[in-house]
A and B are shown apart, each in its own frame.
Chain A
Amino acid sequence: MELFILGCVIPIVLGVGVLSISRSKAASWIAAFGVWLGCGIAAVPVISALAGHVLAPLQIAWNMPGGSLSFGLDGLSAFFCLPILLISPLAALYGCTYLAHEKKPLGPASFFYNVLTASMLLLLAARNGLLFLVVWELMAVSSFFLVVFDDEKAHVRQAGWTYLIATHIGTAALLVLFAIMGRQANSLDFDLMAKAGFSPAMATALFVLAVIGFGAKAGFMPLHVWLPEAHPAAPSHVSALMSGVMIKTGIYGLLRILTLLGNPSAAWGWTLVVIGLVSGILGVAFALAQHDLKRLLAYHSVENIGIITLGIGAGLLGLAWHQPTLVVLGFGGGILHVLNHAIFKSLLFLGAGAVVHSTGTRDIDHLGGLIKSMRWTGVTFLVASAAISGLPPFNGFVSEFLIYFAAFSGVRAGAPETVVLTIGIAGGLALIGGLAAACFAKAFGIVFLGEPRSSHAAHAHEVGAAMRWPMVALAGACLGIGLLAPAAVKLVLPAVRVVAGDGAESSAESVATAMRSLTGIAYASAGLLLLVVGLFVIRRYLPRGREETATGTWDCGYARPTPRMQYTASSFAQPLTDLFRIFLGTRKRGASPAGFFPQPTTFETQTPDAAREYLFAPLFRLIDRSLAPIRRMQRGRIHEYLLYIAIVLVLLLLWKAGGRS
Chain B
Amino acid sequence: MKIMYWALPLAAWVLSPLMLGIINRVKAFFAGRRGPPVWQLYYDLFKLLQKASVYSKSTSMVIRVAPSVVLACMALCTLMLPWGELQAPVTFVGDIILLAYLLGLARFATVLAALDTGSSFEGMGASREVQFAALAEPSFFLGMLVLVLHFGFSGLSDMVSGISLETWHTSGVLLILVGCSWFVLLLAENSRIPVDDPNTHLELTMIHEVMVLDYSGPDFAFILYVASLKMWIFAALVVNLVVPMHSLTPWLQAPVFLLGIVFVMVLVGVVESILARLRLQQIPKVLLGSAILSLIALIVRLMG
Contacts and interface: CB of A to CB of B under 8 A. Distances in A.
Interface of A: 368-369, 371-372, 378, 382, 386, 389-392, 397, 401, 404-405, 408-409, 411, 413, 416, 419, 422-423, 426-431, 433-435, 437-438, 440-441, 444-446, 448-451, 513-514, 516-517, 519-521, 523-524, 527-528, 531-533, 535-536, 539, 542-543, 546-556, 561, 563, 565-567, 571-576, 579
B214 A567 contact: no
Contacts of A528: 72-73, 76, 102
Main secondary structure of the interface of A (DSSP, over half): helix
A553 B117 contact: yes
A3 to B, nearest CB: 40
Contact of A546 (B52, B57, B59): B52
B68 A401 contact: no
Interface in B30-89: 49, 51-62, 65, 67-69, 71-73, 75-76
Contacts of B65: 532, 536
B267 to A, nearest CB: 26
Contacts of B273: none
Nearest to B76: A528
B213 to A, nearest CB: 5
A535 B153 contact: no
A104 B58 CA distance: 40
Given A413-B149, A433-B104, A392 B98 contact: yes
Nearest to A426: B141
Given A401-B94, A520-B95, A532-B72, A574 B102 contact: no
A446 B55 CA distance: 19
A494 to B, nearest CB: 24
A449 to B, nearest CB: 4
A504 to B, nearest CB: 20
A396 to B, nearest CB: 10
Contact of B149 (A411, A550, A571): A411
Contacts, number: 252
Given A382-B112, A520-B91, 18 more contacts: A408-B145, A445-B116, A449-B62, A449-B112, A520-B92, A524-B90, A528-B102, A531-B76, A533-B68, A535-B68, A551-B54, A552-B58, A553-B118, A555-B120, A567-B124, A571-B124, A575-B127, A579-B131
A445 B126 contact: yes
Nearest to B123: A567
Interface in B144-197: 144-145, 148-150, 153
A445 B67 contact: no
Contacts of A386: 105, 108
Interface in B85-143: 90-95, 97-98, 100-102, 104-105, 107-108, 111-112, 115-124, 126-128, 130-131, 133-138, 140-142
Given A423-B145, A431-B138, A449-B112, A542 B131 contact: no
A550 B55 CA distance: 5
Contact of B148 (A390, A411, A428): A411
Interface string B276-304: 00000000100000000001001001100
A535 B76 contact: no
Contacts of A547: 52
Contacts of B138: 426-428, 430-431, 434
B272 interface: no
Given A427-B141, A433-B137, A441-B112, A553 B51 contact: no
Contacts of A548: 52-55
Interface stretch (B12-20, B217-225, B229-237): B217-225
Q: Interface centre among A382, A437, A440, by most B CB within 10 Å?
A: A437
B202 interface: yes
B130 A536 contact: no
A549 B52 contact: yes
Given A423-B142, A431-B138, A433-B104, A411 B153 contact: yes
A389 B108 contact: yes
B127 A571 contact: yes
B119 A555 contact: yes
B94 A404 contact: yes
B98 A401 contact: yes
Contacts of B202: 556
Interface in B201-255: 202, 213-214, 217-219, 222
A543 B145 contact: no
B57 A550 contact: yes
Nearest to A519: B92
